[in-house]
Amino acid sequence: MSEPAARLETLAARVAELEAERELTLRLAQTDSLTGLVNRGAFTAELCARLDDAREHGRSVALFVIDLDRFKSLNDTLGHHAGDLLLAEVGERLRADAGPGELTARLGGDEFALITEGRDVAARAQRLLTKLAQPQTIYGRVVSPGASVGVAVFPDHAADAGDLQRFADMALYRVKTRGGRRWSAFDAELSAENARRQTLEAELRRAIPGGEIEPWFQPVIDANTGRITAVEVLARWNHPEQGLLLPAAFVPIAEELGLIGQIDEHIFEAACALAAPWVAEGLIESISCNVSPRDLLDPAFSRKLIGRLARTDLPATALTVEVTETFLLQDFALARRHIERLAAKGIRIALDDFGTGYSNIRALMSLPIQTVKLDRSLIEAVGRDARVSKLVSAMLHAARALGVRIVAEGVEHEAQALFLRAAGCDRMQGYLFARPMPAAKVEAHLRGSPLIDLAMPSTPALARRRHG
């Protein structure tokens, strides 16, 4: 072979090698490493391509979204490696069960998807449930988590990939709320819910700059004197048509739309501005504001909050920031930086949901936390359940030994209030004393009768008569 020919052959071999490497890299980039199925990115691209083809040729496409039931329980009891083994087995079952032209994918976690023709959806969904319900042995233990399936069909339910995925997810969510291990297709009921949601989204975008979302306040009572010493800030949406909406009706949507930060900022500054005169006149000592874990994971959170507080007349020493154990578990080092920076400015820190996790005591021992809020799940049983009562008494004793103020939230019955006061609880809040109320009503109450009578067990609390 001549030298030029040899060079061409070598060059051709190198080109083929590079092409094979490129194809391998592309395939790996589109494949889920655990299951070998298509990953989310490649799945989304393929779904869009299939919808374009179906649109051109007048065909239908069905999207099945699959979520394993009780997968978290398996992870917690047998460990994450066992969970990975189950996910790999699920991937193999889906791949083996896929018919011609069907595409299976792992979207992430324990969520999978299937794209197929939009015919005989019920039979295909049932086949998925049967296949995934079959038991598997992991570490000598037979497990059968089962699955929930949501289905949406193009063009019957949706005209594009985004809506198709969203509608399949809505159908899946309905199945999960009903106990799982079944399937559901997008239908008229979910369509009406989607329409309501879209309307709510548009109204929410208008409501924030329009001032419809406003701070409400729930009084915190001194357990010994009955005086209102503080208020907790809560958000309420004064909807022009639907009336007063609680956070559960709009916060999840606001989080999805990326609007929750605007709401938090507006509520915080408005609450501080309203409460500043109450503090200045000695009507209350402080206000407390909840902070979401999402905000706390922002490295600039504490500096931003200090800056927002400076735009109001509320003294730093009159502000309590409530943090949850969830945040401490996610990033303890970042939590320390935020908490120490806020404490250095005189802002008080409260640990919310105290008694529901194992890192509470660690936080009290190592962080400048001045207040703990006993979780309402514990308060419900005090005075009735001897074991819970003993646990709460021990927690109160431990908190007092550390010099921490204790607030019990969710107090609804006089028996609870009397037990907590006798056990040494400093402060309480709940429907027994007062429900959350708008600023004008709080101020009228503070100026009129800021005391709650806790001396007589048989006498209903004053706030209950006024605000119940």
Q: pLDDT truncated to tens, each residue of the chain (468 aa)? A: 666 666 666 666 666 665 665 555 545 467 998 999 999 999 999 999 999 999 999 999 999 999 999 888 887 778 888 889 999 999 999 999 999 999 999 999 999 999 999 889 999 999 999 999 999 888 888 888 789 999 999 999 999 999 999 999 999 999 999 999 999 999 999 999 889 888 888 999 999 999 999 999 999 999 888 899 999 999 999 999 999 999 998 988 888 888 888 899 999 999 999 999 999 999 999 999 998 777 888 899 999 999 999 999 999 999 999 988 766 767 778 888 999 999 999 999 998 877 665 545 666 677 888 888 888 888 888 878 888 888 888 888 887 887 888 899 999 988 899 899 888 898 999 999 999 999 999 999 898 876 666 543 333 343 343 333
Tell me the domain boundaries of the chain.
31-186, 200-467
Which H or E run contains 203?
Answer: helix 188-210
Domain 200-467: which topology? TIM Barrel (3.20.20)
Compute the distance between CA of residue 238 and CA of residue 255 in angstroms, rounded to an integer.
19
- CB-based contacts of 80, cutoff 8 Å, min separation 6: none
Q: What is the DSSP string of 389-427?
A: HHHHHHHHHHHHHTT-EEEEE---SHHHHHHHHHTT--E
Contact between 89 and 83 (Cβ < 8 Å)? no
Q: Name beta bridge partners: 237.
A: 213, 245
CB 232 within 8 A of CB 217: yes
State which fold the 31-186 domain adopts: Alpha-Beta Plaits (3.30.70)
- Decide if 175 contacts 148 (C-beta within 8 A): yes
Q: Which amino acid is at 49?
A: A
**pLDDT (0 to 100) of residue 10:** 66
DSSP string, 41-83: HHHHHHHHHHHHHHHHHT--EEEEEEEETTHHHHHHHH-HHHH
Q: Do the two domains 31-186 and 200-467 of this chain adopt the same fold?
A: no
Taking the C-alpha atoms of residue 198 and residue 202, their distance in angstroms, rounded to an integer, is 6
pLDDT at 5 (0 to 100)? 64
